């Protein structure tokens, strides 16, 4: 069936939906006629439609094909199959709205869902309200900075994929270097990788909303595609509750507690990182309930009273007999982790003292990265940002940060760039330029109602 014939099935649906069921019934009658073994057009020579409605009043059909009865459900299945193959990216705004309305009507018919029809305007307003709720969860000034991969031919330091890769690499490095986690590295590594995938999908969802213009077909498709990826990642995360339960069933109670603790810390950590680094607050968005559900599944994976009772009635011999089965999921022994481990796993790698510092650094990095005097520029920037309390890292941590982001030829900081008596006129000019840039950024950020407190 051609795209044009498919579009004919719904293109005449009116905005107030008063003719929706009539169009549905006309399509059903035409389908019965076209598929029946025995049929009669009466006085007509062909099926005729007027504004989407079948006007052949005398047609008859047996509603049988190859000795089997044709049913309304057969019709619905074929209709859904046909319209799902339609390239909605090419649809105009109005046709896309009618497509979604007709598809919803078919699905509700299929599953016998009773609902009141909403006008096209009501549906549009509901979607607008939902998308606007997404927009209130982001910083509209800073967010555009994290979705641009390159600026003036250079990699954008704060592009979201780079930022999330930094989070993943840092968490994996902690995992690898910590001897207390050696026996469960495979499990936690898998969890970290899943969280990285979740983070990317979250940002893509918000990009689709942020860039949508009257909710075009392309952006709606992108939104739906990445929402499915978010859901898949959340389901994968929730499956880790079964791993926790497996450890309880095999008598490894401490390990179950430690795994649950690590999983929850990392889940909270990635959402906090996305909030502070990418300006997306999940818990202020329409995704709030879904993410709270996943967190609750991890949290409730262990019934603490039941676990305490089981640990009291299980002796060491019974615990050790399950060791072989336990190895199958990548852990060979029970390790008693200290609280310090969790502090290390959950600590924030953000070198900036506040939100404004991160934006100022990004702006100056876009300027300095094009120059050849990297040591002088980045030394000046470090000492100035530290003096203004925009940065909270020591020189070693700062150097690691800029190395990660491509400035690899700076091995140490030039202390001559520290502000003080006797500083050169060149440094004074740099300070004036930086002051002007900071004032410009603060003014811009304060104009955004959704911006965190600017200091």
For every residue of 158-208, which 3-state class applies, written as one string? CCHHHHHHHHHHHHHHHHHHCHHHHHHHHHHHHHHHHHHHHHHHHHHHHHH
Structure tokens at 454: 């600017």
- Rg (the chain; Cα; Å): 30
348 against 385, higher pLDDT: 385
Structure tokens at 359: 């934006």
Beta bridge partners of 65: 68
CA distance readout (Å), 265 to 188, 238, 258, 273: 11, 14, 10, 12
Asked whether the whole model's pTM tops 0.75, one would answer: no
Summarised one tens digit per residue, pLDDT across range 170-215 is 888 777 766 655 667 888 889 999 999 999 999 999 998 888 754 4
The Cα 202–Cα 294 span in angstroms is 15
Lowest mean pLDDT: which of 22-26, 220-224, 319-323, 416-420? 319-323
Lowest mean pLDDT: which of 96-105, 292-301, 434-443? 434-443
Percent of residues in the chain assigned helix, strand, coil, to nearest 5 = 65, 5, 30
Q: Are 228 and 107 in contact (CB under 8 A)?
A: no
Count Cβ atoms within 10 A of the Cβ of residue 233 and give its class: 0-12 exposed, 13-18 middle, 19 or more buried.
buried
Structure tokens at 305: 């009273």
Structure tokens at 226: 């990445």
The Cα 265–Cα 342 span in angstroms is 8
The Cα 171–Cα 345 span in angstroms is 7
Beta bridge partners of 60: 40
Beta bridge partners of 53: 50
DSSP assignment string, 5-23: HHHHTTTT--TT-TTHHHH
The Cα 378–Cα 358 span in angstroms is 14
Beta bridge partners of 150: 155
Give the SS3 label for residue 334. Answer: coil
pLDDT band at 26 (very low <50, low <70, confident <90, very high): very high
- Mean pLDDT (whole number) for 154-181: 78
Helix spans in 315-354 (H):
316-320, 323-327, 339-346
């Amino acid at each position: 069936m051609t795209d044009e014939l498919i579009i004919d099935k719904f293109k005449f649906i009116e905005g107030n939906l008063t003719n929706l069921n009539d169009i549905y019934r006309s399509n059903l009658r035409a389908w019965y006629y076209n598929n029946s073994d025995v049929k009669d057009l009466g006085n007509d020579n062909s099926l005729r439609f007027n504004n989407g409605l079948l006007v052949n009043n005398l047609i008859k059909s047996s509603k049988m094909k190859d000795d089997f009865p044709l049913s309304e459900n057969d019709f619905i299945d074929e209709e859904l199959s046909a319209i799902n193959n339609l390239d909605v990216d090419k649809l105009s705004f109005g046709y896309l709205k009618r497509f979604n309305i007709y598809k919803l009507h078919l699905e509700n018919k299929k599953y016998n869902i009773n609902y009141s029809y909403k006008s096209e305007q009501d549906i549009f307003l509901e979607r607008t309200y939902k998308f606007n709720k997404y927009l209130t969860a982001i910083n509209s000034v800073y967010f555009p900075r994290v979705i641009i991969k390159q600026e003036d031919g250079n990699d954008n330091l704060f592009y979201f994929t780079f930022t999330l890769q930094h989070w993943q690499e840092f968490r994996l490095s902690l995992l690898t270097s910590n001897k207390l986690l050696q026996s469960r590295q495979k499990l936690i590594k898998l969890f970290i990788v899943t969280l990285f995938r979740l983070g990317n999908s979250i940002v893509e969802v918000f990009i689709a909303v942020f860039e949508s213009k009257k909710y075009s077909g392309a952006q709606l498709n992108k939104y739906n595609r990445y929402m499915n990826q978010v859901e898949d990642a959340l389901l994968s995360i929730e499956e880790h509750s079964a791993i926790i339960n497996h450890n309880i069933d095999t008598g490894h109670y401490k390990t179950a507690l430690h795994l649950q603790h690590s999983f929850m810390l990392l889940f909270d950590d990635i959402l906090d990182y996305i909030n502070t680094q990418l300006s997306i607050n999940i818990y202020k968005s329409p995704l709030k309930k879904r993410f709270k559900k996943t967190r609750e599944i991890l949290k409730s994976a262990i019934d603490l009273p039941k676990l305490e009772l089981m640990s009291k009635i299980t002796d060491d011999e019974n615990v050790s007999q399950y060791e072989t089965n336990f190895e199958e999921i990548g852990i060979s022994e029970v390790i008693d982790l200290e609280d310090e481990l969790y502090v290390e796993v959950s600590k924030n790698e953000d070198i900036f003292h506040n939100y404004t510092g991160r934006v100022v650094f990004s702006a100056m990095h876009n300027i300095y990265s094009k120059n050849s005097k990297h040591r002088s520029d980045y030394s000046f920037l470090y000492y100035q940002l530290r003096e203004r309390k925009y940065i909270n890292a020591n020189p070693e941590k700062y150097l690691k940060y800029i190395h990660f982001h491509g400035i690899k030829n700076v091995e140490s900081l030039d202390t001559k760039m520290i502000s003080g008596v006797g500083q050169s006129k060149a440094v004074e000019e740099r300070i004036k330029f930086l002051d002007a840039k900071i004032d410009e950024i603060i003014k811009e950020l304060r104009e955004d109602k959704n911006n965190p407190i600017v200091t």
